[in-house]
Structure 1
Amino acid sequence: MIQCFLGATLRSVVIKFDEEESYMAHLFSSITRLCPELEDFQIQSVLEEPSLAYTAALSNLVSGLPKLRVLAITSWQPSEELVAHLGSLPTLEEWAYFELPDYPHPERLRSLDAFVNALLTHPSAKSLSTLAITETPTPDVTTNHHNAESVAFFLFRKFFKLPAIESLELTVPILSSLDDSWLEEASSAWPRLSTLELRGEGPPMMTLQGLVPLLKNCAHLEHLRVSAVWKPFDTTGLRNCSNFKIQEMRIGNLVVAKPVVAVFRCLLLLFPVINEVVNQAPGASEDRRWMRLKTLIEESRGTNTGDEEDGGGEATD
């Protein structure tokens, strides 16, 4: 019955279902045959383990759409060959819900690297303005291997070849191995940057001072959420680095060094209108330095709720 709606003039197909049906593979082959002009193809489903027949039929369908412009498929792990094909497809403008194969570490990094390489070969790479990548952590993924820092730096420096980036959101465990030098390069590579979100697993290496180049070079920066160690630094001679657009930050992993009051002063110099900082790290509410900084921020804006969360004043400063 569904095939009655298919035809040569159809430009968009959106399919929604909860469980895999036996007819889906046949439907996919019909779409390839009957809809050569299809530009927008989307599937919204929740499949824990798609069958081989389903995956093969879906891959054949996607690879057989030469005019594909928008692709959004949940619960799907395309092969590296198909990733490369899509990376070279000149019509493709939007690709959502891409899932890397659930390989053990470091094979997951190699898969991510293959995806980035394919992305860089796409004809629209030079004009790509928005990119979001999320890697779901698994128990075998760790950033504590001997060359994590060099692997992360090499992999994520490739993003600087995307000169038009305005919004970059990355949630990848190994991101915590990047340091301030990456932020400095990012500030030069993306002058139109308005949103930057970096969230890794484990102790971060970036610092509060590392944000200075971004504030100097990226005049459009409005959303900044970077896991980092906030420690005080020498602000003597610091000029033209205050951001008056950012009023709140939600940070995946924030580590506060001491003295906390000095950290607070550096923070206000960089972000004079900051109203709220949310530390999303596990156990943040039990971190006395963080709770002390949170209280100072609230008091500076007259929004102190009166909660006694800091648990003891400046004993940790």
Structure 2
Amino acid sequence: MRFMRLGEPGAEIPVVTDGVTTWDLRPLTADIDGAFLAADGLARAEAAASAGDLPGIDPAGLRVGAPIARPQAVICIGMNYAAHARESGSEPPTDIVVFYKHPNTVVGPYDDILLPPGSTTTDWEVELAVVIGTRARYLDSPEQALDHIAGFAVANDVSEREYQLQRSLGQWSKGKSFETFNPLGPWLVPAAEVGDGSGLGIRSRVNGEARQDSTTSDLIFGVAEIVYRLSRFTVLEPGDLVNTGTPEGVALSGRFPYLAVGDEVEVEIDGLGAQRSTVRPAL
């Protein structure tokens, strides 16, 4: 099953689909949010859909929103593929590199990416995104961490490199928190269908040309390790979003041009779907 939110921004309808039929989740919940996830909402929704207890809905013509409601926190892991660390001019880290994005960066998988005024160094980063399902606090082991994950999605950690690196004074969030800088979706796929998130092909394209092509098995710190380590210094709440890092093949490498108005960015992960965004000017 795949969980989605359909409709205009701020008025999305929560749904679940098996790829043939789409069911309206509003008899169970107003939204796919932390409270729904923490109450075993994904499993309850799948059971209700399979039992015929939910009304069908026609998704045709409806905008696809981010598959979760605006999270309380967007926590990101940097330099988490060795080749990307090297292309960025850094050695692979010995512990997780953590930065934050404003939650309002999260938009739908086909929404426009708005280029900041004067920006000439806006970059793409396809990432495996983890959605927290139950509160994770001072966990004892990475194995325990997997019990706290609701599901996975595709994210694009869009980055303005001048603000991230030259203007940041060491705080990457300055280049990460522009509006629309975290397209998410199209689906939230339950963790039970994905496992620990390893072994998934992960790719990006710009204007149809390949940029990134890797696998989540190349993560330096795997999903369970990330959630475990995060829980040792911050409490993860249901509905929180964790971006786990990007592989090599970004514009920062110097091998490709940065994004410009009119460019089309596609990112995808095996089993989690694909998204496509057009770069527009922020007016």
Tell me which interval the TM-score lies in, with the shorter structure as reference length.
Answer: under 0.3
Q: Which has the higher strand share?
A: 2
Q: Which has the higher contact order (CA 8 A, sep 6+)?
A: 2
Higher share of residues assigned helix: 1
TM-score (norm 1): 0.21
